Amino acid sequence: MICPWCHEIVELRTDGTCPECKNEVNEEGEGGQEQSLPRSTELIDMFHHKFRCAKCGDGECDVKEVAMTGTGLSKLFDIQYNHYLFVSCCNCGFVEVYNPDVIRGSKTGSVSTVLDIIFGR
């Protein structure tokens, strides 16, 4: 999950605190209000801000959002419900692939899948 205090991608400790900033975080977000999930644009901004290449150590990256079909009927009807973020280093070209659903901690994209079905994208 993304900590609402430090905006780091973290796995909460057993006592419900963020391991990075040590603030208490509950599942609904701070103050008992429901925490909104980060949109793709927020995730892309986060990668641009915090990226460090695992291969060369450079800090500049390019982020592309990619949608793909699955197998079976989704492939037959060209329904692209698999979404990924491809983060490539601008220095050496090394690419890391991230699943935004895992980062958010929730499955999203049902609206775009429905639109793909309706408009035949």
Average pLDDT, the chain: 73
Q: Average pLDDT for residues 37-44, to the nearest whole number?
A: 66
pLDDT of residue 32: 35
pLDDT at 31 exceeding the cut of 80? no
pLDDT at 42 exceeding the cut of 80? no
**Domain range for 27:** 1-36
Residues 65 and 19 in one domain: no
Structural Rg of the chain based on CA atoms:
17
pLDDT at 56 exceeding the cut of 90? yes
CA pair distance 101, 2, nearest whole angstrom: 12
Residues 30 and 72 in one domain: no
Residues 52 and 83 in one domain: yes
Residues 84 and 114 in one domain: yes
CA pair distance 78, 66, nearest whole angstrom: 14
pLDDT tier, 80 (very low <50, low <70, confident <90, very high otherwise) = low
Contact assessment for residue 44 and residue 59, using Cβ atoms and an 8 Å cutoff: no
Residues 70 and 112 in one domain: yes
pLDDT tier, 43 (very low <50, low <70, confident <90, very high otherwise) = confident
State how many domains the chain has.
Answer: 2
pTM of the model: 0.53
pLDDT tier, 106 (very low <50, low <70, confident <90, very high otherwise) = low
Q: Is 117 left (phi over 0), alpha (psi -120 to 50) or beta?
A: alpha
Select from 49, 47, 28, 50 the least CA-distant residue to 37: 28
